């Protein structure tokens, strides 16, 4: 199996699906001639031509509106937000049109909205956000957030084939830092299914995307102190794998929910509430939410490093929960 980066895995999934299905096309700012801000679509214009690789004006609402219309007409658009932060400009299109279409009159909107999210690259408050919590409150949408190259390919393939709108969160810190063996040819990761990334018995960390690697590093360090930490990689946030979350909570009795979206109103609150409602009798301690403080993402490197959870801060939380 070839070793590929997280970025290349996303690119391969898109490339392979465009080769298989002429309904699939790419649309967004600079996706064609320039090949995308992070070069994910480099070469696509030469391979598929301007009718399937469409450069647009700087208007996220127009990109998403055109994609919704194309999807309703039987196409399968992949709409790129150059940075996922600017999805806010197309919020109305996604929330009030794409997400509600099937409920209102039975019409699916098979489109993917993909874009780089997350911090750790000193991009500042307008290029480092994690907007998943906004959209987790929207019935009709699906949200995926891969943390590995294998899942980046598998989830992109699944998202393109899905009959409903999927927000595909690509953590840009992982783009060229994460490499692994990825099989050639078709790889499909089911939407809505978590995976146990590391088995453990003393406590669980539920997480996703870049925080997966923070959790695994912290779990490895904790093992040297005799603490066995299970790490559950959600992979999908909407709908998240409730069964897997409840199973890991019941197995270990202690849970940390770790994410990069800010704390208040973040995904951790929903997950913690579900655990408390469904498996309270298995818990040996309160569910802990570990997330950045309620501020914009700082631009200064030192402040951003203090803002983001890291292996050291997760390690402290592990020790405190273990000793509870």
The reply to whether omega before 239 is within 30° of 0 (cis) is yes
Tokens 């696509």 identify what position? Answer: 44
Burial of 226 (0-12, 13-18, 19+ CB in 10 A): exposed
List residues bridging with 229 in a β-sheet: 203
Contact 25, 54 (CB under 8 A): yes
Measured over all CA atoms, what is the biggest interatomic distance in the chain, rounded to whole angstroms? Answer: 60
Whole-angstrom CA distances from 95 to 92, 138, 154 are: 5, 7, 25
Residues 6+ apart with CB under 8 A from 162: 110, 112, 142, 191
213 is a catalytic site residue: no
Among residues 74, 38, 32, 76, the alpha carbon closest in space to that of 55 is found at 32
Q: Which two tokens stand for residue 269?
A: 């609150």
Catalytic one of 122, 127, 171, 259: 127
Enumerate the active-site residues.
127
């Amino acid at each position: 199996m070839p070793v590929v980066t997280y970025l290349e895995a996303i690119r391969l999934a898109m490339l392979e699906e465009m080769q298989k299905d002429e309904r699939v096309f790419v649309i967004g700012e600079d996706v064609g001639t320039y090949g995308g801000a992070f070069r994910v679509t480099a070469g696509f214009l030469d391979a598929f031509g301007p009718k399937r690789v469409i450069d647009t004006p700087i208007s996220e609402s127009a990109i998403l509106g055109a994609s919704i219309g194309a999807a309703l007409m039987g196409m399968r658009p992949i709409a790129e937000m150059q940075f996922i932060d600017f999805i806010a400009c197309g919020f109305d299109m996604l929330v009030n049109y794409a997400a509600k279409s099937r409920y209102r009159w039975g019409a699916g909107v098979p489109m993917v909205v993909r874009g780089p999210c997350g911090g750790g690259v000193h991009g500042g408050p307008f290029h480092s956000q994690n907007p998943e919590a906004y959209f987790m409150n929207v019935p009709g949408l699906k949200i995926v957030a891969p943390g590995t190259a294998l899942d980046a390919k598998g989830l992109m393939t699944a998202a393109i084939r899905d009959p409903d709108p999927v927000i595909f969160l690509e953590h840009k810190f992982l783009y060229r830092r994460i490499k692994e063996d990825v099989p050639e040819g078709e790889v499909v990761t089911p939407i809505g299914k978590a995976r146990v990334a590391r088995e453990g018995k003393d406590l669980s960390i539920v997480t996703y995307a870049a925080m997966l690697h923070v959790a695994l590093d912290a779990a490895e360090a904790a093992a040297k102190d005799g603490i066995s930490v299970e790490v559950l990689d959600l992979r999908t946030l909407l709908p998240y794998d409730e069964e897997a979350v409840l199973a890991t909570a019941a197995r270990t009795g202690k849970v940390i929910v770790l994410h990069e979206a800010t704390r208040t109103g973040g995904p951790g609150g929903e997950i913690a509430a579900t655990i408390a409602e469904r498996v309270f009798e298995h818990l040996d301690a309160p569910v802990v939410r570990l997330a950045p403080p309620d501020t914009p993402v700082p631009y200064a490197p030192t402040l951003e490093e203090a803002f983001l959870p890291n292996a050291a801060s997760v390690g402290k939380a592990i020790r405190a929960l273990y000793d509870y």
